[in-house]
Structure 1
Amino acid sequence: MLAHLSPAIRQYLLVTGNYWAFTLTDGALRMLVVLHFYQLGYNALEVAMLFVFYEFFGVVTNLVGGYLGARFGLNRTMNIGLGLQILALVMLLVPAAWLTVAWVMVAQAISGIAKDLNKMSAKSTIKLLVPDQQQGQLYRWVAILTGSKNTLKGVGFFLGGLLLTLLGFQGAVLAMALMLFAVWMGSLVSLKKDAGKAKAKPKFNELFSKSSAINRLSLARFFLFGARDVWFVVALPVFLASQLGWSSWQVGSFLALWVIGYGFIQGVAPKLTASGVGRQQAAGWNLVLALSPLLLAIALWQQAPVAASIMLGLGIFGILFAVNSSLHSYLIVAYSRADGVSLDVGFYYMANAGGRLLGTVLSGWVYLQWGLEACLVISAAMLALSTLTIRTLPRREP
């Protein structure tokens, strides 16, 4: 069936399928680690610290990975990412006594490198498959890729909670490693060779963007994802388990449904926004998003029904965040250079990983010190900074 499609469509489907498989294991692994180590008695800050290397090496990988993609081709960086994720999973198959904090942090570091190599490669490849004058199609393709990825990440959260219940920690990890190995074998022989390789070999000093628009978009993305993870990544699942008494199955299922819905909204974002996406529209959506965690914090402070407030607030935040994330993802691809696109995209997602790193650490520390309401207030402040940064974007030139 693939033989009847154009080469660009075939590559898009291969890249998307590759990205989907990776994302499924990435979401499941995150939920496995959070719930398993919380059950072992780790507090919120200690659980957050397990992901510090994951996020830190994501920063480094996006920066260097963009250079590697431009120099050696995006198919290679994508396949390296898949191989490293398999290695990270295998590292967690050791006897339970070996699963020390240091060992898990190293495995998470490798997984962080893998995730960002895979994501950078996938989103950079889309730029190469769509002519620059077809910005509407580019926006739709980026939205579909991003939205479907997050839907699969939500399925991964659900899968992580389910596998932990049915197979235990090591059984779940083994099942995911075997599935991803099969995908990796197919990817090694199917992806187009040299996709994304720059015509002129990039110099190492080109890692840091010299474009004002890319720099500002990157800063806005830093605040955007820091604002999400400061309350979502550790504080929320620990709050649901400790304060509401939810089981691993319930926490995993609830967060899975949220991320699945969030991914669906990302995929249809072009239908929710005007076709001429620019800085004013992006800033407007960003500002509305900034109000949602603040309103949820006020509701919890005023002792509104907790479970109902969390579900409603998280639903509103998810819809607004999905549209904002999709708009940002489109803008970075639209502003990037066609030749050596992975350098710009890699720099941008370095900032994305930096925001997640800050948000992850704050999520554990702030929750431990002051609770979920404080995490939400910090989230609103970071979103306000993201809005101000987006407003300074220059007009895009063809």
Structure 2
Amino acid sequence: MVASSSSAGSVAAAVQGLAHDDTVSGLQVYIVGGAVRDALLGLPAGDRDWVVVGAAPEEMTRRGFIPVGGDFPVFLHPRTKEEYALARTERKSGRGYKGFTFYTGVDVTLEQDLQRRDLTVNAIACTPDGQLQDPLNGARDLEARVLRHVGEAFAEDPVRILRLGRFAARFAEFRVADETMALCRRMVEDGEADALVPERVWKELSRGLMAATPSRMLDVLAQSGALARVMPELQEVAMVGQDLDRAAAREQPLPGRYALLCRLTPERDALARRLRVPGECADQARLLPSMLEALHAVDAEDQLGLIERTDGLRKPERFLAMLDAATVVATTNADAWRARLDEARGVDAGAIAKQHSGNPGEIKAAVRAARLQALQSLRH
């Protein structure tokens, strides 16, 4: 099925200027996936991925394409550096997302390649001159705002549950088709989600956290049953989901969003180890509860204690980042805390050390006393 001329026209405008050059002249090539989807939605164009039908690897290298694929042939255009993958089919050969064998013969059709993709909205192809090829009715699902799996092969890759959640978080106006959610539940019940490795979980989770409505990813994972498998430590999902949506509206960076995700989870350190999250995310998740507990401290001793516990003296940028995250869920005078941090860090520890050079054991206490005095002066 070829989509309507009006739809094709909108994509043609988005991909204008992609006329064949000598490198691709004579090849049967199509733009596929997200670039086509986003063009149809009127969203800014991102990276373009191409699929090549009816070509062998030898033909690609002869034309100057640079091979970069591991499991299957993928090539970089020698000038644009865009990815061109040979059309392929895949067959389940083991458990988990790596359990596949691929076939990339010259007889693989475009429709066969599209049928191996996850969602119909990601299975639309487009020629360089803007002609849509949509055998799986992805454009129709785009218009209906539905995230629907392409076919039963969706169940062969558990990463697709995570991707479904990520797309739900990105496209808040889209609903998940009932049959797709039912299939995800069946996958979890069959143990497919147990084969997910931490790196893939974190990759998709982090992208979902940075989407416009992160709570929807948590909803999808919870409804499918996958959340309890990949993040069993996580607590109070509904509440932190609302926090995350507010953080997204404020364009908070990833470490702060992850810290908010974990703020009501006592086993946040165990969760960080499970997911192998980056150190900055794990650190902010560990320290944010301390900040939330002491945000309303009025005593200089308590204020300095918070700055010390969160290592704000050495890492002021992190302290301020966590302060921004904290204001998502608590009302406080952020400017006052910035002033306190500046005052505490403004104490000249070197000068104090010189004053106590004859008795080095007094230096630490003297520096701290000076910081306390500086914080107390702010209240007058």
Q: TM-score range with shorter-chain normalisation?
A: under 0.3
Q: TM-score, normalised by structure 1?
A: 0.21
Larger helix percent? 1
Q: Considering Cα pairs closer than 8 Å and 6+ residues apart, tell me whether 1 or 2 has the greater RCO.
A: 1
Q: TM-score, normalised by structure 2?
A: 0.22
